[in-house]
Amino acid sequence: MKKITILVPAYNEEEVLDQLYDRLKGVMNGLPDYQFEILFVNDGSKDQTLSIIKNLRAKDTRISYVNLSRNFGKEIAMIAGLDYATGDAVIIIDADLQDPPELIPEMIKYWEMGFDDVFAKRRSRAGETWLKKWTSATYYKILQKMTRIPIQENTGDFRLLDRRCVEALKQLRETQRYTKGMFSWIGYNKKEILFDRDPRAAGETKWNYAKLVDLAIEGITSFTTAPLRWSAFFGIIISAFAFAFMIWIIIKTLLFGEPVAGYPSLMTVILFLGGIQLLSLGIIGEYLGRIFNESKHRPLYFVDEYNEEKELNQKPRDQEKTYIHQ
Q: One symbol per residue from 207 to 236: x for binding ligand UDP (CB under 6 A), - otherwise; what is it?
A: x-----------------------------
Residues 6+ apart with CB under 8 A from 109: none
Angle at 150 between CA 144 and CA 156, to 5 degrees: 90
| Residue 314 touches ligand UDP, criterion: CB under 6 A | no
Question: What element of type H or E holds 35?
Answer: strand 35-42
Contacts of residue 29, Cβ cutoff 8 Å, sequence gap at least 6 = none
Least distance (Å) between residue 29 CB and ligand UDP: 23
Choice from 42, 98, 147, 179 touching Mg ion (CB under 5 A): 98
Residue 155 — φ and ψ, nearest 5°? -125, 130
With CB under 5 to 8 Å by kind, the binding choice for 10 among ligand UDP, Mg ion, none is: ligand UDP
144 scored as a contact of ligand UDP (CB under 6 A): no
Compare residues 96 and 116 and give the one whose CB is closer to Mg ion.
96
Considering the complex, what minimum distance in angstroms separates the CB of residue 53 from ligand UDP? Answer: 12
Which CB sits closer to ligand UDP, 11 or 65?
Answer: 11
Q: Is 96 in the site for ligand UDP (CB under 6 A)?
A: yes
- Which of 15, 37, 94, 117 touches ligand UDP by CB under 6 A? 94
Q: Is 303 helix (H, G, I), strand (E, B) or coil?
A: strand
Measured at the CA of 125, the angle between CA 45 and CA 146, to 5 degrees, comes to: 90
Please select the residue that binds ligand UDP; options are 4, 11, 50, 119, rule is CB under 6 A.
11
How far the first Cα of the chain sits from its last, in Å, is 35
Q: How far apart are CA 220 and CA 78, in angstroms?
A: 20
Told to check if 103 binds ligand UDP by CB under 6 A, we report no
Smallest separation, CB 295 to Mg ion (Å):
33
CA angle 10, 11, 13 (to 5 degrees): 75
Which lies closer to ligand UDP via its Cβ, residue 205 or residue 268? 205
Closer CB to ligand UDP, residue 45 or residue 147?
45
Class of residue 138 by CB neighbours under 10 A (exposed 0-12, middle 13-18, buried 19+): exposed
* Binding region for ligand UDP (CB under 6 A): 9-11, 13, 43, 71, 73-74, 77, 94-96, 98, 205-207
* Binding region for Mg ion (CB under 5 A): 96, 98
